[in-house]
Amino acid sequence: MVKNISTSTHELPIKTISELINKLTQSTYDEQDEVARRMYVGVTPYVENKIQKRVNKSYNWVARRMYGDTFEVDDNFDTKKVQLERRVCSCGKWQKSGIPCGHTIASLRTRTSEAIHEMVGYKLTVVVYRVACRSETVNPIPSLVH
């Protein structure tokens, strides 16, 4: 965005360029807010896409309940340990991203009470996305005219 402005407006006064950057930035936030308003599901499209890829990848993985909410998952290469209540997997992806990893998804297949979307970190939900988009504003540049 800034590169396009700098090459196409290099002869304009700096105040005009600053105002242009301000308007473009605000319009970006407004577009994100509009996208957020159209979302009705519990997670953002990005998260939904990640979940679907992990569901597909883990389709034939085998999960065995060890005790309580702790599972051992064989992913055809290695065995990982998942603790659903603590939202922890020994692969580390779930903790790092907030999105259930394939091992978690394989574990959830053995249970009927939890949905995958319920295991996504709160910060990745549509509710948080909407709040973030609505709170983003760009302060106008004060006029130099007194």
- Number of domains making up the chain: 1
Look up residue 39 and give its amino acid. M
Instruction: Check residue 40 and give its pLDDT.
Output: 55
Structure confidence at residue 55 (pLDDT): 93
- What is the structure's pLDDT at 117? 79
Please give the pLDDT value at position 110.
Answer: 82
Residue 36 in any domain: the answer is no
* Domain assignment present for 101: yes
Q: Which domain holds residue 82?
A: 45-128
Q: How far apart are CA 58 and CA 102, in angstroms?
A: 5
Output the six-digit token pair for 143: 């006029």
pLDDT along the chain (146 residues), means of 10: 55 79 78 64 83 94 94 96 94 95 93 75 77 62 52
Q: What is the pLDDT of residue 42?
A: 77
Q: Enumerate the β-bridge partners of residue 81.
A: 72
pLDDT attached to residue 145: 47
Q: What is the pLDDT of residue 111?
A: 73
In a domain, 30, yes or no: no
Residue 137: inside a domain: no
Output the pLDDT for position 53: 95
Q: Structure tokens of 86?
A: 């603590």
Strands of the sheet with 79-83, listed across from one edge: 62-67, 70-74, 79-83, 88-89
46 and 112 Cβ atoms separated by less than 8 Å: no
